Amino acid sequence: KAGVTQTPRYLIKTRGQQVTLSCSPISGHRSVSWYQQTPGQGLQFLFEYFSETQRNKGNFPGRFSGRQFSNSRSEMNVSTLELGDSALYLCASSSSDSRGNTIYFGEGSWLTVV
Amino acid sequence: AQSVTQLDSQVPVFEEAPVELRCNYSSSVSVYLFWYVQYPNQGLQLLLKYLSGSTLVKGINGFEAEFNKSQTSFHLRKPSVHISDTAEYFCAVGITGGGNKLTFGTGTQLKVEL
């Protein structure tokens, strides 16, 4: 069974540009979450989608957005990139949103903003 | 709101020695707890999780953790570490009704030395 797949793995963008990251969850999983990991702030929750609906949202500015498609694949978009957006973006999937459900993480997309 | 504190940012230990990585949490509602491991340039891998029931939880790679409600702790232990255990370890908490949103600690870098 394939794991959580994130593309691209590495990318470099310039300040002011926008970026779209993609996540394919484990087959059959309907929940997809996104996290930002930086040395200074650690792992921070961005948002969660379940069956194409945003269920939870973290404390990030509106420049960060996401969506989920009918096949459960998800994308997140960051507009007007800032240097501080340089981070590892992790996608996680789960079969449901039940209490304590096992959450599986992808290997992440490394974003560098220059 | 819930929070997680990992008291040690780095833990050096010799190979074959026991290790304990500490995690304390704070929450006003019922929680479930996870430990994840992150190897360099990789995503997060689940070591173990606690939902309810027995307070001693066994995970992969010989790790175990004990949930202590009175001390609001969920410390991770391994009786004998190996060089390959060198990695960063994250404690995370989720809450009932919180979907798959996890709040992570700042991580503990475990360095196993010969």
- Residue B107's pLDDT band, with cuts at 50, 70 and 90, is very high
What is the pLDDT, as a whole number, of residue A98? 67
Question: Average pLDDT, whole number, for chain A?
Answer: 94
Q: What is the mean pLDDT of residues A55-75?
A: 95
CA-based angle B33:B44:B68, to the nearest 5?
A: 20
Bridge partners for B82 per DSSP: none
Report the residue of chain A nearest B50, measured CA to CA: A100
DSSP state of A26: P
Q: Are the beta carbons of A42 and B49 separated by less than 8 Å?
A: no
- Contact check, Cβ <8 Å, A99/B96: yes
Q: Which three-class secondary structure state does DSSP give residue B83?
A: helix
Tokens at residue A87, please?
């981070």
For B101, the closest of A42, A48, A105 (CB atoms) is A48
- The distance of A103 to chain B (nearest Cα, Å) reads 7
| CA gap A108, B44 in Å, rounded | 9
* A104 contacts B49? CB cut-off 8 A: no
Write down the pLDDT at residue A85. Answer: 97
Across A31-39, average pLDDT? 95
